[in-house]
C-alpha cells in the first residue's frame, strides 16, 4: 500500500471495543482487540467471528479434530468503548504536549 494514501485508524491492539454490526453485534459488552491489520482494514477481536477448522491427523497432531479460533472482521464494524459513558464512542485526535492523543467524543476523556 502506498504510504501517501495510507489510512489512519483510531483502534490499536489492546483497546476495548464494542461490535456494532454483524452476527456478534453487542453494544453493551466491551471486548479486547487482539490484532490490527491496517493493510486489509481489519481487526481481530476476542470472542468475535469464531470459525471452526477441521484438522487432519498428522505427525504433530495425531488425533486431529476440530479447532475454533477468531477470524478478522472489518474495522468499520467496531467502535471504541468509553468506560465513563458506558457505551461506544467516536474518536478525535488532539495535540497534547506536542504529541497526538486520542480523545473520546462522548466524554472528552483521553484514551490511553
Domains of the chain, first to last? 12-111 (2.30.30.30)
Provide long-range contacts, Cβ within 8 A and 24+ apart, for 106-110. Answer: 106/82, 107/82, 109/82, 109/84
Is residue 71 scored above 90 in pLDDT? yes
What is the residue whose three cell numbers read 466491551? 30
* Mean pLDDT (the chain, rounded): 94
Tell me the whole-structure pTM to 2 decimals: 0.85
Amino acid at each position: 500500500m502506498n504510504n501517501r494514501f495510507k489510512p489512519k485508524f483510531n483502534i490499536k491492539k489492546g483497546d476495548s471495543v464494542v461490535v456494532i454490526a454483524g452476527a456478534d453485534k453487542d453494544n453493551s459488552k466491551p471486548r479486547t482487540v487482539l490484532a490490527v491489520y491496517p493493510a486489509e482494514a481489519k481487526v481481530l477481536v476476542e470472542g468475535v467471528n469464531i470459525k471452526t477448522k477441521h484438522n487432519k491427523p498428522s505427525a504433530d497432531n495425531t488425533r486431529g479434530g476440530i479447532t475454533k479460533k477468531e477470524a478478522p472482521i472489518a474495522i468499520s464494524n467496531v467502535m471504541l468503548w468509553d468506560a465513563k459513558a458506558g457505551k461506544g464512542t467516536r474518536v478525535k485526535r488532539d495535540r497534547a504536549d506536542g504529541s497526538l492523543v486520542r480523545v473520546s467524543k462522548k466524554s472528552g476523556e483521553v484514551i490511553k
